[in-house]
Amino acid sequence: MNAPHPMPANRRIAHLDMDAFYASVELLRYPELRGLPVVIGGSHRRPAPGASGREQHARLRDYAGRGVVTTATYAAREFGVHSAMGLMQAARLCPQAVLLPVDFDEYRRYSRLFKAVIAELAPVVEDRGVDEVYIDFGAAAGGQEQGGRALALTIQGAIYERTGLTCSIGVAPNKLIAKMASEFQKPNGISIVYESDLAERIWPLPCRRIHGIGPRMSERLEQLGIGSIGELARCERDWLVQQFGRSNGSWMYEAAWGWDDRPVVTESEPVSMSRETTFERDMHAVRDREELRERFTTLCEQLAADLQRHGYVGKTIGVKLRYDNFQRQGRRAGAQRCGGAHGGAGAAGGAVAVLAAVLTAVLAAGRGGPNRLDAHLAAH
């Protein structure tokens, strides 16, 4: 079997991702916590300025509420704590962890700072959110040396010097592989991957490590007996198209073969941001109204948090309900748009209220059995 497309020769693209970003920024403020399990999340008060010593900090064991872990230091991750886990569950795993509230303004400030350092060393950088970027090493001085290791080390060192923060960098022939490679040696790691490393370093990984294969798709792949990327690469493209539809099937086949020709784009202001979910069973618009409402509210909250994290405000809000499975996903129904969300649609409360109203309207139209719900918030 041959790879579907050769990768363009000599492309070197880096993916840089900050280590435990929010937590690491907090450690700059509270150096006495370095090396300890620290969890960021919840909305309690931070200690009074000027207070010092470990005793002043809240402990996870004293937490009561429904907040989730935003991120955790590597010391806390050793206890099994991870992003998106409930704080109460995290408290059972690591009661002694220090709990700090989030401070988006401070994280955004450091985000701008580390990106400014990179911009001085490489001209083509794509912003991918608060703590990650792609860098075109082909366009940067020295970017090809040692497969990119020399420039990666320079960037890592400069960021540390100017911010006190560490990051991990993957350098590869394309974005897809670079994104996977930046995780290979976290924290403070550099991984250089060549096209010829595909079978040895990429194929043993589970399919969900491909950016774009989420929990649902990877579950479906598991059901089909496909666990690793190598197993995915051995599937016939046509068979994958039958299972997942033309666009998804072809894309995942090419991804498994490490093929990706997306360029590094300097201006990456998103046109829209969205969250979506797929139900385990078909839902009925009337009978399952309450469950739909709950699931929908969760999506809205996630979306509002995404917007907040990236510092965006939405102007237009839309909802899509999908009534079919992967094979026939083109048959969309119930698409609605709502443009009346001016003045703070980016705020969580506003987005949730407007989107909930749109959903009610969609459901009132009386379509039964959606098995997929997409909530889209478009900022034009």
Other C-beta atoms closer than 10 Å to the C-beta of 61 total: 12
Least distance in angstroms from the C-beta of 4 to ligand DCP? 30
User: What number of chain residues touch ligand DCP (CB under 6 A)?
Assistant: 15
- What distance in Å separates the CA atoms of residue 196 and residue 376, rounded to the nearest whole number? 39
- Residue 179 binds to ligand DCP (criterion: CB under 6 A): no
Piece in contact with ligand DCP (CB under 6 A), picked from 16-24, 136-144, 229-237, 334-342: 16-24
- Residue 134 binds to ligand DCP (criterion: CB under 6 A): no
Q: Tell me which of Mg ion, ligand DCP, none is bound by residue 22, counting a contact when its beta carbon lies within the kind-specific cut-off of 5 to 8 angstroms.
A: ligand DCP
Considering only CA atoms, which of 255, 210, 216, 222 is closest in space to residue 237?
255
Binding residue for Mg ion, selected from 131, 195, 254, 260, defined by CB under 5 A: 131
Q: Tell me which of Mg ion, ligand DCP, none is bound by residue 26, counting a contact when its beta carbon lies within the kind-specific cut-off of 5 to 8 angstroms.
A: none
Q: Tell me which of Mg ion, ligand DCP, none is bound by residue 70, counting a contact when its beta carbon lies within the kind-specific cut-off of 5 to 8 angstroms.
A: ligand DCP
Q: Tell me which of Mg ion, ligand DCP, none is bound by residue 243, counting a contact when its beta carbon lies within the kind-specific cut-off of 5 to 8 angstroms.
A: none
Spell out the residues 6+ positions from residue 230 whose beta carbon is closer than 8 angstroms to its own: 199, 202, 203, 204, 256
Least distance in angstroms from the C-beta of 85 to ligand DCP? 9
Least distance in angstroms from the C-beta of 106 to ligand DCP? 12
Binding residue for ligand DCP, selected from 17, 26, 195, 374, defined by CB under 6 A: 17
**Nearer to ligand DCP (CB atom), residue 188 or residue 297:** 188
Piece in contact with Mg ion (CB under 5 A), picked from 17-25, 113-121, 137-145, 314-322: 17-25
- What distance in Å separates the CA atoms of residue 258 and residue 260, rounded to the nearest whole number? 6
Tokens (6 digits) for 179:
């994104």
- Residue 18 binds to Mg ion (criterion: CB under 5 A): yes
Output b/e per residue, 206-241; b: 16+ Cβ within 10 A: bbbebeebeeebbebbeeeebebbbbbbebeeeebb
Least distance in angstroms from the C-beta of 84 to ligand DCP? 4
- What distance in Å separates the CA atoms of residue 375 and residue 319, rounded to the nearest whole number? 5
Q: Tell me which of Mg ion, ligand DCP, none is bound by residue 227, counting a contact when its beta carbon lies within the kind-specific cut-off of 5 to 8 angstroms.
A: none
For β-strands 132-136 and 13-18, DSSP reports them as antiparallel
Q: What are the backbone dihedrals phi and psi of residue 343, each rounded to the nearest 5 degrees, phi first? A: 70, 65
Piece in contact with ligand DCP (CB under 6 A), picked from 20-28, 109-117, 208-216, 313-321: 20-28
Give the full edge-to-edge strand order of the sheet including 69-72.
Answer: 58-59, 98-100, 38-41, 69-72
- Residue 83 binds to ligand DCP (criterion: CB under 6 A): yes
**Nearer to Mg ion (CB atom), residue 17 or residue 288:** 17
E-assigned strands of the chain? Answer: 13-18, 38-41, 58-59, 69-72, 98-100, 125-127, 132-136, 167-172, 190-192, 272-278, 316-322, 332-338, 372-378
Catalytic, out of 126, 132, 195, 254: 132
Considering only CA atoms, which of 355, 235, 338 is closest in space to residue 303?
355
**Nearer to ligand DCP (CB atom), residue 218 or residue 302:** 302
Other C-beta atoms closer than 10 Å to the C-beta of 73 total: 26
**Nearer to ligand DCP (CB atom), residue 95 or residue 187:** 187
Piece in contact with ligand DCP (CB under 6 A), picked from 19-27, 211-219, 284-292, 315-323: 19-27
- Residue 131 binds to ligand DCP (criterion: CB under 6 A): yes
C-alpha distances out from residue 112 to 3, 82, 107, Å: 39, 25, 9
CA dihedral 74, 78, 80, 86 (to 10 degrees): -40
Binding residue for ligand DCP, selected from 47, 138, 187, 227, defined by CB under 6 A: 187
Spell out the residues 6+ positions from residue 360 whose beta carbon is closer than 8 angstroms to its own: none
- Residue 21 binds to ligand DCP (criterion: CB under 6 A): yes
The question of whether 120 is a catalytic residue gets the answer: no
Binding site for ligand DCP (CB under 6 A): 17-22, 70-71, 83-84, 130-131, 186-187, 309
Binding site for Mg ion (CB under 5 A): 17-18, 21, 131
Q: Which residues are catalytic?
A: 132
